[in-house]
Chain A
């Protein structure tokens, strides 16, 4: 490691420390700690939202995945920008902010709980978050610690310990202000790093159209195994109804693309700004950020095939020896100048730290505020923000424990369980929270019982689908194999050969839980609401503003 690298990393850590300290100094009460005093600057809010959303795994993992799937995955950044930023801020953000203020809600579960007058909803949502975020967090943590250990030549355990302590310090002390200030800096670094990478890649490969054309011309180099699964080339969609089509469209595009709308650590950010003006100002910042981070990772990942084909005569996955996660790091090493590797190291550190800090914060608030204080303690406060701070520490310990022990104890199996954490959490959040969240913002007919049914129906059905049917999750979670002796109930063994059960073009083992859990959750919410008591009009007026008198509607 060069002296420059050490100086830049130390300067970066000093800047993070300073911003964390600023957050700590300006945090006086629970609203400051949980919502930044509802006065966040639109740049800070938008960049923090974006940096939380785009983790290292989005750059390394999805970048590597697009080296295999190709540019068809660009539907995901489109959904990220259009749904995840534009629709989210414009439609969801504005209403969430106003309702949060009217109900004095400080967390996402608290908003849902107060909207439906149910401490059970708040506690259950808090519990789901606390139980499943550590899996998601440890997936990010493990990846970051491995990368740092490699970069700095230290032990994996040391890297894990140092990295966690740094993040823990500014999250526990500075609360959401510490998290958002540091996120904004980290997002800016990510934006610069990835923008450079895009320009360099297109320049190296002869320009936009030439680079894409070269990738199109490589279609015949797709490995036979991928071709059989539906791959038709890196600039074409996979063949409709094939396993590859289901994985790309159902899991990656739909699962992650729609799942973002009900992410607690993202939704809480709408409540951190003072007015709708800030949300409107955050939209262009967030949109450009996602285009230049997620969009770039997918384009560069796909085009890495052209670079490797032209330089070593092999496609990316062959150069990386079959390890998808190695594609982007290997491409950087081979295709970019050495000064860029320092900038990109900071980019990846920033992506990991910003996602982790928000995950730790949301874990702490869900256990401390939602479950302990509000649901179990019936609204009794425990020493200001003490319960939340203890919750944050418990969340950090749980995540570090998972990263530390699972890999050591279970080896590769453990890693694959943790690696599924991101997808499991996204799917679960969408199925459990999205129908209730949408109904809470727009519909006066949905009842408390309806909301609870949707929450439980969505959470249980998506979990069962992951454990027993969806091939990738059920294989990693091992429970299906233990109970039924097969890695998925949608796989039949015929003469010792695995056959995927399908109905027409639907291959059940590849269907994402969101496509099962979300309809069930919506159905449960609507049906139960039809037959149960409506919430009082005065409460609905308080949540959503007064309903317009009939004469004004004419």
Chain B
């Protein structure tokens, strides 16, 4: 394939191109996506902790 004899070398050649394409697609899909994970609201967090405590007591 592509004039290259060894399948492992063909794979490396194609993977170089595919991984660069993966980067391009990722960039296009995530162009405006931020990584900041929304922290749960304080009240919800406290409620969840309270639930945990009650569950442990039970």
Contacts and interface: CB of A to CB of B under 8 A. Distances in A.
Given A283-B23, A291-B17, A276 B33 contact: yes
Interface in B32-58: 32-37, 39-40, 45, 48-49, 51-52, 55
Contacts of A98: 35-36
Interface of B: 2-6, 8-9, 12-13, 15-17, 19-20, 22-24, 26-28, 30-37, 39-40, 45, 48-49, 51-52, 55
A78 B12 contact: yes
A211 interface: yes
A94 B35 contact: yes
Interface string A275-312: 11101110111111011000100000000000000000
Contacts of B27: 280-281, 283-285
Contact of B15 (A78, A211, A286): A78
A208 interface: yes
B23 A86 contact: yes
A446 to B, nearest CB: 21
Given A98-B35, A235-B9, A550-B52, A81 B19 contact: yes
- B8, B13, B16, B40: residue with the most chain A Cβ atoms closer than 10 Å: B16
B34 A288 contact: no
B26 A276 contact: no
Contact of A276 (B5, B34, B39): B34
Contacts of B2: 208-209, 212
Given A94-B35, A545-B37, A74 B28 contact: no
A132 interface: no
A280 B26 contact: yes
Given A82-B15, A277-B33, A551-B52, A284 B23 contact: yes
A535 B17 CA distance: 43
Given A71-B9, A90-B26, A284-B24, A212 B4 contact: yes
Contacts of A275: 34-36
A208 B10 CA distance: 13
Contacts of B55: 550-551
A215 B12 contact: no
Which A-B residue pairs are the 4 nearest by beta carbons?
Answer: A276-B35, A287-B23, A284-B27, A212-B3
Nearest to A286: B23
17 contacts: A71-B9, A74-B16, A90-B26, A212-B3, A212-B4, A213-B3, A236-B5, A277-B31, A279-B35, A280-B35, A283-B23, A284-B28, A291-B17, A295-B20, A549-B48, A550-B52, A551-B48
B20 A291 contact: yes
Nearest to A86: B23
Contacts of B39: 545-546
Contacts of B33: 276-277, 280
Nearest to B12: A74
B23 A235 contact: no
B6 A236 contact: yes
A232 B5 CA distance: 11
B57 to A, nearest CB: 14
B46 to A, nearest CB: 10
- B13, B15, B30: residue with the most chain A Cβ atoms closer than 10 Å: B13
Given A71-B13, A81-B16, A277-B35, 6 more contacts: A71-B12, A74-B9, A86-B26, A97-B35, A276-B34, A284-B27
B9 to A, nearest CB: 5
